[in-house]
Amino acid sequence: MRILKLFAFLGLCIIVGSCNQNENMIAKIYSAASSDTTSYHNLRILCKNYPERLAGTPISIKAIDFLQEIMEKENFDTVYLQECIVKHWDRGEKEIGKAITSKGVELKLNVCALGNSIATPKSGISSEVVEVKSFEELDKLGNDFIKGKIVFFSKAMDSTKVNSFEGYSEVVGFRFSGAAVAARYGAEAVLVRSVTTRLDTFPHTGVMRYNDTIKPIPAFAISTVHANLLSKELAKEPKLKVFLKSDCKFLADEKSYNVIGEVTGSKFPNEVITVGGHLDSWDNTEGAHDDGGGLVQSIDVWRIFKKIGYKPEHTLKVVMFIDEEMNQRGGEKYAELAKLNGEKHIFAIESDAGCDRPIGFSFDLKESYQKQIYSYRKYFEPYGATMFANEGSGVDIEFLKEGHDAVLCALITDPTHYFDYHHSGYDTFERINIDYLNQGSAAMASLIYLVDKYGIK
């Protein structure tokens, strides 16, 4: 591309004299964010030294210490821990999965227990497999066929969806409820194809739930490569047996903590703006996109304000929530204490959709607030983050919905690759692009600046 005309199609307002104050301020915010390496560096330490930081684990406590330590360097008015009790689900020994042919050949299958699952018996489960692509298929097969077998939900996530969340939503039900449904028909266990379009050998975990009235059965994720292998083998030999063994269990509940950095508002100290991400990750991953990046981006909001000399008028709380992946005790506790302390929350934003290129925001807000909030879209045009959607906010902050009149918001990033990383060993620091990480910080800081300046009316 030869650019003789040198058109600066984005950010033109930054150059010409007609810029208004908001555009200038947001240009400053983006500029401050883009030259920064501290958050990227901190994220590397979090990922490499404190991976697999599932709530309740000893390493999650070390991660809490680390986050508190880096926040204490950032001149918040106060940094503190907010205690809450979390369940401690423990994977135990590494799971074993294999397909065993009638000739006795064993094919290794990469599997992992789904979060919240019970274990198999110590001797494992060895059963025939029923492969299905839908719950309807399962219903049709019925008790007699399914009883005593392992149900294998093999439907692949649709890779043709530009919005990967849509593809995800179509199949994640098998992961979440597959065991509860299969148990009704007497299945011994379920094996669920990992919810990703990536062909890899990582099992992608995630939370599952039982139905209280039906006896729980063990639930596993299987990597997409091994799901394909198993389907192929089953086509050749439908009576093939699969062996599954897991050791997961709940240990005693543990004390854990949200980490909070607070800056008191210069004009409205009793009105709160929250920005956060979750500090726990699954226990099979560094949790770089999910959600280490969201943490350092949230801290960045305050770091950027400091850099450009902006003093928030409303109280700013930067929150590292614990236990998002399993039971959201951190988010729940934060909202509970906010209520107890009579806090007025006006705005909360969460970064928990990965750290690829920010493309906009999603909101959970009263219709009467929409006009004001959507009027800010224009400020994000120079930065390509113009998607403003009303499709919900974040898991941790949505507990603030009750008892407050707050606008809740999620940073939305390019979803193309999010489920490549999601809940798997592939979600490492190396998957993070520093430019996009910093742009996410800037997008959140810019929106918070606008909310802080104009309030919510």
Find, among 92, 88, 120, the residue nearest to 248 by Cα. 92
Q: C-alpha angle 359/167/131, rounded to 5°?
A: 160
Distance CA 355, CA 394 (A): 15
Least distance CB 432 / a second copy (angstroms): 14
237 touches a second copy by CB under 8 A: no
**What token pair was written down for 14?**
């930054």
Least distance CB 239 / a second copy (angstroms): 34
Least distance CB 412 / a second copy (angstroms): 7
Q: What residue type is 63 in one-letter code?
A: A
| Sign of the four-CA dihedral 439, 440, 445, 446 | positive
210 vs 436, which CB is nearer to a second copy? 436
Least distance CB 384 / a second copy (angstroms): 4
Find, among 335, 206, 205, the residue nearest to 258 by Cα. 335
347 vs 421, which CB is nearer to a second copy? 421
Query: Cβ distance 304 to 312 under 8 Å?
Result: no
Judged by CB under 8 A, the residue of 442, 445, 451, 456 near a second copy is 442
Query: Cβ distance 113 to 119 under 8 Å?
Result: yes
String of contacts with a second copy for each residue 195-234, x by CB under 8 A:
-----------xx---------------------------
Least distance CB 377 / a second copy (angstroms): 9
Q: Provide the strand spans (E) within 117-195.
A: 125-132, 150-153, 189-193
Find, among 262, 449, 260, the residue nearest to 347 by Cα. 449
260 vs 412, which CB is nearer to a second copy? 412
Helices (H), 218-257: 224-236
Query: Cβ distance 143 to 177 under 8 Å?
Result: no
Question: b/e per residue, 369-393, with b = 16+ CB within 10 A?
Answer: beebbeebeebbebbebeebeeeeb
Query: Cβ distance 275 to 410 under 8 Å?
Result: no
185 vs 363, which CB is nearer to a second copy? 363
Judged by CB under 8 A, the residue of 383, 399, 429, 449 near a second copy is 383
135 touches a second copy by CB under 8 A: no
36 vs 262, which CB is nearer to a second copy? 36
7 touches a second copy by CB under 8 A: yes
Judged by CB under 8 A, the residue of 12, 85, 105, 235 near a second copy is 12
String of contacts with a second copy for each residue 67-106, x by CB under 8 A:
----------------------------------------
Judged by CB under 8 A, the residue of 83, 93, 166, 405 near a second copy is 166
Distance CA 331, CA 291 (A): 14
Question: H-helix or E-strand containing 22?
Answer: helix 21-34
238 vs 392, which CB is nearer to a second copy? 392
4 touches a second copy by CB under 8 A: yes
Specify burial of residue 207 (Cβ count, 10 A radius: 0-12, 13-18, 19+): middle
**What token pair was written down for 205?**
């975990």
Judged by CB under 8 A, the residue of 96, 107, 172, 337 near a second copy is 172
10 touches a second copy by CB under 8 A: yes
- End-to-end CA separation in angstroms for the chain: 46
Least distance CB 342 / a second copy (angstroms): 28
Find, among 269, 348, 267, the residue nearest to 77 by Cα. 269
457 touches a second copy by CB under 8 A: no
Judged by CB under 8 A, the residue of 203, 276, 415, 440 near a second copy is 415
Contacts with a second copy in 353-382 (CB under 8 A)?
353-354, 357, 359-360, 362, 381-382
118 touches a second copy by CB under 8 A: no
String of contacts with a second copy for each residue 281-320, x by CB under 8 A:
---------xx-----------------------------
Question: Is beta strand 78-90 parallel, antiparallel or unpaired with respect to 249-263?
Answer: antiparallel
334 touches a second copy by CB under 8 A: no
Distance CA 219, CA 133 (A): 16
Find, among 120, 234, 139, the residue nearest to 188 by Cα. 120
455 touches a second copy by CB under 8 A: no
Residues that bind a second copy (CB under 8 A): 1-12, 14-15, 30-31, 34-35, 159-163, 165-166, 168-169, 172-173, 176, 206-207, 290-291, 324-325, 328, 352-354, 357, 359-360, 362, 381-384, 386-387, 389, 391-392, 395, 412, 414-418, 422, 435-436, 439, 442
